[in-house]
Amino acid sequence: MFPIKTENQRTINISAQAGAEYLPILVESFLIDRKTQGLARGTVEFYRVKLGLFLDFAEAHALTQLTELTPDFLRQFILFMGEKHNPGGVHTFFRSLRAFLRWVDFEEIAPEGWKNPIHKVKAPKVPQEVIEPVSLEDVASLLATCQRGKFTGERDRAILLTLLDTGARAQELCNINLDDLDLASGAAMIKQGKGRKPRVVFFGRKTRRAIRAYLRQRKDNHPALWVTQSGERICYITLREILRRRAKLAGIPLASPHDFRRAFALEMLRNGADIFALQKLMGHADLQVLRRYLAQTDTDLQRAHDRGGPVDNM
């Protein structure tokens, strides 16, 4: 027997014979593979947390070997997670297990004759809830709290407009540098979007004017586009605090950065944007993800029918 310390800080005592099918070691190998493929740190941590809880569950049931996994045991784990998490959360555990076991299949680690048990386990259903965006009326109320001619007022106004006009994710917005910006054309380079994929986002004349007004207030030399009063790059927590403070001043419910992203998607669609172009602007790998953002109302559908109804357009 010999001990192995994993990155999960688990001390594992295994024999060389058992190692090839020992679940904690396989999970650790899977995480190393994810890292070498260049997945974002947050994605690797996502797998580490989800699969770590699965290992805890397996250990509690005295199950340590890959060949001991059965479809029924995986279903038990999903049911157990359902007691502590909402349907969306439960689905994340299923996706993590599926990715891990597919990797085992691909690497041909399992003994001959082994059948992947995940193939017989159906994905837990996730209710397709309508995700509401921030309303344009609330955005106007937030903008009204931004004092013109002052650093924080001009900065926060520019941030609110950029969030709404680009559909950028919160961290993407925080990571933009001055060198990534083209104010002449109204474009910004997102160097590392989700999945480390770069893309270009765009913003209109009003947002350009707001950004210029903010930049005239700056006295620092920091390369970041968005900075604090002390000249440091704004982080996600600071961005949330800006939105919280503005919502309190406006007397409206707090809107998250992602609520602005949803509003961007829906307003672009309402204003006639091509859905495939919208997919690329938002940095989505496929349309399935985009559909969750498009919380169209009955009025939206009525307008769509008015524009394209076959009888009235004959």
Instruction: Write down the pLDDT at residue 5.
Output: 40
Instruction: Write down the pLDDT at residue 133.
Output: 86
| CA dist., res. 95 & res. 110, Å (int) | 20
Instruction: Write down the pLDDT at residue 15.
Output: 40
What residue segments make up the domains of the chain, in order of their start? 2-120, 136-299
DSSP H or E run through 157 = helix 151-166
| Both tokens assigned to 115 | 């059948």
Region of 284 (left: φ > 0; alpha: ψ -120 to 50; beta: rest) is beta
CATH architecture of the domain with residue range 2-120: Orthogonal Bundle (1.10)
According to DSSP, the β-strands at 11-14 and 181-182 are unpaired
* 3-state class (DSSP) for residue 166: helix
DSSP string, 12-39: EEE-TTTGGGBHHHHHHHHHHHHHHTT-
| Both tokens assigned to 284 | 């989505």
DSSP string, 178-245: GGGEETTTTEEEESS-GGG--EEEE--HHHHHHHHHHHTT-----SBSSB-TTS-B--HHHHHHHHHH
Instruction: Write down the pLDDT at residue 298.
Output: 55
Cα separations in angstroms, 181 against 113, 178, 195, 226, 268: 56, 5, 21, 12, 22
CA 21 centroid distance within chain: 33
Instruction: Write down the pLDDT at residue 312.
Output: 66
| CA dist., res. 145 & res. 246, Å (int) | 7
Instruction: Write down the pLDDT at residue 4.
Output: 37
Instruction: Write down the pLDDT at residue 308.
Output: 65
As a dihedral over the C-alpha atoms of residue 253, residue 259, residue 262, residue 268, rounded to 10 degrees, the angle is 70
> Letter for the amino acid at 190?
I
CATH topology of domain 136-299: hpI Integrase; Chain A (1.10.443)
Instruction: Write down the pLDDT at residue 6.
Output: 42
| CA dist., res. 308 & res. 314, Å (int) | 10
Instruction: Write down the pLDDT at residue 102.
Output: 95
Q: Tokens 């091509």 label which residue?
A: 274
> Letter for the amino acid at 32?
I
φ/ψ (deg, to 5) at 167 = 70, 15
Beta bridge partners of 5: 11
Instruction: Write down the pLDDT at residue 314.
Output: 58
pLDDT in tens, the chain (314 residues): 333 344 444 444 444 445 668 999 999 999 999 999 888 788 899 999 999 999 999 999 999 999 999 999 999 999 999 999 988 889 999 999 999 999 999 998 888 889 999 999 999 987 766 667 899 999 999 999 999 999 999 999 999 999 999 999 999 999 999 999 999 999 999 987 666 778 999 999 999 999 999 999 999 999 999 999 999 999 999 999 999 999 999 999 999 999 999 899 888 888 878 778 888 888 876 666 566 656 555 566 666 656 666 666 65
